[in-house]
Amino acid sequence: MKTCRKCGSTEFTPVKRTNKKGETYFTSKCKPCSNSYQRRTKIVAKWQKENKSHIREYQRSYYKDKHGERNSINHSRIKQRTFGDKKAIIEFYKNTPTGHEVDHIVPLNGKNISGLHTIDNLQYLPKSINRSKSNKF
């Protein structure tokens, strides 16, 4: 006999739910546990919406001294994969139009493929498009 994953109740009746994509699935929790979880997530989402400034302040203080470490890792990755005319690459970065960012056509750290930091692998993209592209090829 199945038991509730949360409370261990043996009177387990899976609850039918629908996700954001419209797909139907059954939970592994009994109805009271599943409903309490749904309520808690709604309460947390509401709190996060009402306290954006508090969350942002916390994130800034948490990540305050961590950017140097992250940037040094990224810098070493770029340094290892840089080939060709470095002056041309620097000039390419300097000539970035306003509202645009320099993008690697083939990402340096992609999931299936990793590119090189060369002048042929660089392009200008608007900020919104570049950020939505992320590490995708």
Query: How many helices and strands (H and E) does the chain possess?
Result: 5, 4
Q: Which residues constitute the domain of residue 112?
A: 83-133
In a domain, 58, yes or no: no
Residue 1's pLDDT is 59
10 in a structural domain: no
pLDDT of residue 6: 77
Q: What is the mean pLDDT of each run of 10 residues along the chain (137 residues)?
A: 75 76 82 82 92 92 77 75 86 92 86 84 91 78
Give the per-residue pLDDT at 12. 66
Whether 93 is in a domain gets the answer yes
- The verdict on residue 7 lying in a domain is no
In a domain, 75, yes or no: no
Number of domains in the chain: 2
The CA-based dihedral angle spanning residues 112, 114, 115, 116, taken in that order and rounded to the nearest 10 degrees: -170
